[in-house]
Amino acid sequence: MKFPFHTLLNPSNKRIPREMHRSPKTITKQALKKVRSFFSTPAASASIAAASSSSSSSSTAAMDDLQTLKFRLCIIGSGPAAHTAAVYAARAELKPILFEGWMANGVAPGGQLTTTTDVENFPGFPEGILGFELMDRCRKQSVRFGTEVVTETVNRVDFTTSPFKVFTDSKAVLADSVIVATGAVAKRLSFPGSGEGSGGFWNKGISACAVCDGAAPIFRNKPLAVIGGGDSAMEEANFLTKFGSKVYIIHRRNEFRASKIMQNRALSNPKIEVLWNSMAVEAYGEQGKEVLGGLKVKNLVTEEVSDLKVSGLFFAIGHEPATKFLNGQLQLDSDGYVVTKPGTTETSVRGVFAAGDVQDKKYRQAVTAAGTANAEEVFVLGCMAALDAEHYLQEIGSQTGKND
């Protein structure tokens, strides 16, 4: 661990008196004396800890070069949970600011729903709605009620002091309360044909959410495949048997890591077949159509590559929560999700709340992000976060008055 030498000599960061500009020998003696004195004080360990982290003083210094804004509530995120929180907070006249990011974690503003086509399990749209259109409506509703939406990505925060500090490349926000709703990104495999654009079949038969997309007409009564070996893969494979004629589970090992009960459900389903010790190495299209037609599957034991005719492929290899920018300032679980107090959106820092997929590992759907265990719940989480933040602001006396 390194510390600027002048910080040790002059922890208060005051200008060094002119008398100290003396000979190198004198300066060295004085330096050593101050260093020994510094390390012998009870505050030494605290000063070192502060120097090794994003301290309040360093954050304040960094703000000097940025446009500084003051708000009672700052929302970080752009998905259903973030915009639900924004609508509720704005209607409570908290006048929140929302950072929707710009291609944060490789996803456009609007979150994971912008990567899907038809959303058919969202209440209020009996004919379905395009994912990007749904999120565009959410954004317009947030703005309508007074949310200031900024298309910049938050790259760091300082929750060590109040007001909290939220930073982008050009702005620094001082906020009395913060809602983290940055979501989680589905992990995807990369091989020829798995991506977007020319020659790729992402959203043309390849997806990372069976529950979101599995009921689409292009998958009905067709053979489908799931890649993965955990509980999510078992659950998604079983779910897909409601629509597909057959479901293959492609797994690179000779045993699943899923729980026994989930394994048994999958293995006992007559419509599911497991391809052990195998991996997809290429996706190709259906002849004459720009949709998935099949996969090249390699057996890792025999190294034989075979054709697997499927109309749908679903990655079920886990999610990665977007929490790196927090830099350990909130308590996270072993998988990197924000830990919240049961039944609330409260995090380990009072005044900071979390909603949606960034803290909800179990129910990773638009409706849950916008609430909690079913169609009433991804919306519920956003609503809960806004209400929790409002109550907190009332407690600290910040709800009245106006933003600077």
17 pLDDT more than 80: no
CA angle 267–270–272, rounded 5-degree value: 60
Residue 90 falls inside a structural domain: yes
180 and 322 Cβ atoms separated by less than 8 Å: no
For the annotated catalytic residues, the residue numbers are 209, 212-213
Same domain, 103 and 120: yes
Q: 268 and 284 share a domain?
A: yes
Residue 378: enclosing H or E segment and its boundaries?
helix 378-395
Q: What is the pLDDT of residue 370?
A: 43
Least confident among 205-209, 249-253, 268-272, 346-350: 205-209
Bridge-based pairing of strands 206-207 and 223-227 is: unpaired
Lowest-confidence pick of 75-79, 119-123, 148-152, 206-210:
119-123
pLDDT of residue 287: 86
The boundaries of the domain holding residue 341 are 67-186+320-396
Residues 262 and 293 in one domain: yes
Q: Is residue 152 part of a domain?
A: yes
**Does residue 28 lie within any of the structural domains?**
no
Q: Alpha-carbon distance 86 to 78, whole Å?
A: 10
The answer to whether residues 287 and 351 belong to one domain is no
Mind listing the pLDDT tens digit for each residue in 371-403? 333 334 567 889 999 999 999 999 998 655 544
Report d(CA 25, CA 246) in Å as an integer. 83
pLDDT score of 41 more than 50: no
Helix (H, G, I), strand (E, B) or coil at 178: strand
Q: How far apart are the first and last CA of the chain?
A: 39
CA distances from residue 370 to 79, 125, 183, 229, 339 in whole angstroms, order as listed = 8, 15, 11, 28, 18
Q: Kindly state whether residue 75 falls inside one of the protein's structural domains.
A: yes
| CATH code of residue 356 | 3.50.50.60
Q: For 217-247, how does the pLDDT look when each residue is reduced to its tens digit (9 = 90+)?
A: 999 999 999 999 998 899 899 999 999 999 9
With CA atoms as reference, report the closest residue to 163 among 387, 358, 384, 349: 349
The residues near 248 (Cβ < 8 Å, ≥ 6 apart) are 223, 224, 225, 226, 272, 273, 274, 275, 308, 310
pTM for the whole structure: 0.67
Q: Exposed, middle or buried, 385 (CB in 10 Å: 0-12/13-18/19+)?
A: buried
Which residue's entry shows tokens 């048994």?
264
Task: Tell whether 300 is covered by a domain.
Answer: yes
Considering the domain boundaries, does residue 295 fall inside one? yes
Which band of pLDDT confidence, cut at 50, 70 and 90, is reported for residue 326? very high
| Residue 24: predicted pLDDT | 39
Quick: pLDDT tens for 302-312.
999 999 999 99
pLDDT digits (tens, 9 = 90+) for 148-175: 999 999 999 999 999 999 999 999 999 9
Domain boundary among 284, 302, 317: 317
Residue 292 domain-assigned? yes
Cα separation, 34 vs 40, whole angstroms: 10
Q: 337 and 248: one domain? A: no
DSSP β-bridge partners for residue 305: 298
Is residue 72 located within the same domain as residue 181?
A: yes
Last residue of a domain, one of 317, 336, 371: 317
Give the rounded percent of residues in the chain with a pLDDT score beyond 90. 57
In a domain, 18, yes or no: no
Rounded CA separation 376/357 (Å): 15
Shared-domain flag, residues 149 and 212 = no
CB contact at 8 A, 212 and 116: yes
Across the range 358-381, mean pLDDT stands at: 54
Specify whether 146 is located in the same domain as 83. yes
Q: From the CA atom positions of the chain, what is the Rg in Å?
A: 26
Last residue of a domain, one of 302, 317, 332: 317
**Cross-strand pairs, 71:** 175
pLDDT at 3 over 70: no
Provide the number of structural domains found in the chain. 2
Q: Do 219 and 313 sit in the same domain of this protein?
A: yes
CA 262, CA 208: separation in Å to the nearest integer? 19
Co-location of 342 and 239 in the same domain: no
Strand, helix or coil at 86? helix
What does DSSP assign to residue 358? G
DSSP string for 2-67 = ---HHHHH-TT-PPPPGGG---HHHHHHHHHHHHHHHHTSTTHHHHHHHHHS--HHHHHHHHTTSE
**Taking residues 321-344, what's their average pLDDT?**
93
Structure token pair of residue 40: 């012998």
Q: How far is CA 140 from CA 40, 87, 92, 103, 133, in A?
A: 58, 10, 17, 19, 11
Report helix, strand or coil for 245: coil
Which tens digits make up the pLDDT trace of 271-296?
Answer: 999 999 999 999 999 988 889 999 99
Query: Is residue 197 pLDDT above 70, yes or no?
Result: yes
pLDDT band at 115 (very low <50, low <70, confident <90, very high): low
Beta bridge partners of 321: 184
Is 46 a residue whose pLDDT tops 50?
no
Residue 172 tokens, joined: 């620094």
Does residue 109 carry a pLDDT above 80? no
Map residue 313 onto helix, strand or coil: strand
* Residues 329 and 237 reside in one and the same domain: no
336 shares a domain with 304: no
